[in-house]
Structure 1
């Protein structure tokens, strides 16, 4: 299970960046393939939530989408894995267990690609700077 950001879908309107973002595993996509949302805003939320889990500040976080009734509940399990519960209209529609390090490194890879794309486009905003800082903090969790 990984987070996918379709870089070719990114669009900037004022200081907000929209694009396709969703979770995917094999043929399954949540909320759906091509889900369009406020990419930078929700990735900042998710990065902060993942940091709380990695730093043992909490054992459960909610990764919300801005548009629509979709979210992912993440629970930190003792065997160094995350249990992901995909919720649509307050109902669990799918679940997956992922290795914490593999999931987070895949998330960091998506953030890195996004940040590179943003720099190439010379887009700037406070939210983008915040995302870059969150990216750096997440990276530090895996640097020995």
Structure 2
């Protein structure tokens, strides 16, 4: 059975002082937040890294493993491609498995990443913030959407 996965950014938590920081989490089955509710990190940087990992997974052979890392702290999500369309996820802390999540659809991860990134970019635009990482993110999301 596949689990649902989404990426949630609390747009009201965003702050800007050269870098854009805000609350960002992976959410499994609408209730399991990782790293945890209230986790704050460098949103544009993380989204860019996660887009790179997702794009790589789309073309990687089965059994390939990619990480979706957080900048602040020892947390990451490990994603192993188990079929052409599915990933097995684990939440990691200090390189050790913290929680085995189970199977998710690569397409659902991709769609959630696109949605969260678009919402973030729109919020930054509304706020009038300019940032090099956001400019890089604009190009990265287009490359993910193309696949």
Shift of 1:55: 2.6
Mean Cα displacement is larger for which, 5-14 or 89-98? 89-98
> After alignment, is 64-73 or 26-35 more displaced?
26-35
Q: What's the counterpart of residue 96 of structure 1?
A: 102
Does structure 1 conserve the Cα–Cα contact (< 8 Å) formed by 2:11 and 2:123? Answer: yes
Matched, 1:27 2:31: yes
For 1:8-87, what aligned pairs fall within 5 Å after superposition?
Answer: 8-14=12-18, 16-25=19-28, 26-56=30-60, 59-87=64-92
1:40-78 CA-to-partner distances (Å, cap 9, x unmatched) read 111111111111111327922111101111011111121
Structure 1 runs, 4 residues or longer, greater than 3 Å off:
none
Q: Distance in 1 between matches of 2:70 and 2:105?
A: 22
Q: How much has 1:27 moved relative to structure 2?
A: 2.3
Alpha-carbon spacing, 1:126–1:57, altered in 2? closer, same or farther (3 Å): farther
Q: Contact conserved, 1:60 with 1:74, CA < 8 A, in 2? A: yes
SS at match of 2:71: coil
Q: CA deviation at 1:91?
A: 2.4
- Offset of residue 90 of structure 1: 2.7
* TM-score w.r.t. length of structure 1: 0.90
Give the secondary structure class of the aligned counterpart of 1:102.
Answer: helix
Is residue 31–residue 88 contact of structure 1 (8 Å, CA) maintained in 2?
A: no
Quick one: distance in 1 between partners of 2:126 and 2:55?
Answer: 27
- Structure 2 residue matching 1:40: 3-state secondary structure: helix
- Mapped partners of 2:74, 2:17: distance in 1: 23
TM-score (norm 2): 0.88
Structure 2 gap ranges (5+): none
Shift of 1:93: 1.9
Higher relative contact order, structure no. (Cα contacts within 8 Å, ≥ 6 residues apart): 2
Q: Deviations over 1:18-53 (max 9, x none)?
A: 000011123211110110011111111111111111
1:114 lines up with 2:117 in the alignment: no
